[in-house]
Amino acid sequence: MRGASVEFVDSMTAAQAEEQVASWLRTTDRVTVLTGAGISTESGIPDFRGPQGVWTKDPAAAALFTIQNYVADPEIRIRAWRTRRDSPAWTAEPNAGHRALVELERAGKLRALVTQNIDELHQLAGSDPDLVIEVHGTMRWAGCLDCGLRTPMPEVLARVEAGEADPPCLRCGGIQKSATISFGQSLDAAVLAAATRAATDCALFLAIGTSLQVYPAAGLCDYAVGAGARLVVINAEPTPYDEVADAVLRAPIGELLPRLVSAAVGARD
Ligand SMILES: [Zn+2]
């Protein structure tokens, strides 16, 4: 009964809830994780929809970066290339939260690591790239909108640095963009299918550092719950899924995840 579990959650102290989640982690090896910007803020990468989020503070900026505007307006593209060049993600390091998920994986418990993040900090922390499902793509690659050629982003940014304000595709001359999902662009169908499978085929679904306001990523929680998995929400702010979650934890992710994982799989060094 989901309704009963809400009261149960409300009556638990934070420490009890944490121990409960650790025990669920201990007893299953079919965990699917969904991560959002909140796991990367401790690495110095700002989020978009939190209280200090980029879009929260500047909603007009969000409206600018639609795929339609990007294709139509060279000035938007020039701004976008500068924004990519100046991204704090280029110097960001994975944090203890990312590393805890690597530990969970090495304990044989991770079914999949679905992420809304485009920073590849999971892979840099040591997560198996085959387990990482990037539903919003990656900023570390560029793609041609015409011929589909993919190029490592640093190579394209080097051309920006050298004076090409809007570097065209070297193969066909088409417009290039980071290999990320922009506003107005649909998700890659195969990637979304893999994420949906991971959500429906797990015993425990952890939503970590995501406001769960963006679909279809947030809808993965519905798939998980619908398939009978436990849902745990770990986020600084309330989410629309807190009421259906089996547990909600609010401690800072970089502190909480290592504690949870070490309680579940034992201290390792
Ligand atoms: Zn091309």
Q: How far away, in angstroms, is 165 Cα from ligand 1 center?
A: 17
Residue 6 has pLDDT above 60, yes or no: no
Distance 60 CA to ligand 1 centre (A): 30
Mean pLDDT, the chain, rounded, equals 91
Q: Report the pLDDT value the prediction gives residue 250, as an integer from 0 to 100.
A: 92
Q: Cβ–Cβ contacts within 10 Å for residue 13, how many?
A: 8
- Which is higher by pLDDT, 46 or 109? 109
Amino acid identity for residue 175 in this structure:
I
> How confident is the model over 213-264, as pLDDT tens digits?
988 889 999 999 999 999 999 999 999 999 999 999 998 999 999 999 999 9
- Residue 122 is a catalytic residue: no
- pTM here is 0.90
Structure tokens at 71: 């294709």
Q: How far, in Å, from the CA of 178 to the mean position of ligand 1?
A: 13
pLDDT for the residue numbered 127: 98
Cβ neighbourhood burial of 247 (10 Å; 0-12, 13-18, 19+): buried
Closest CA to 198 of 117, 106, 132: 132
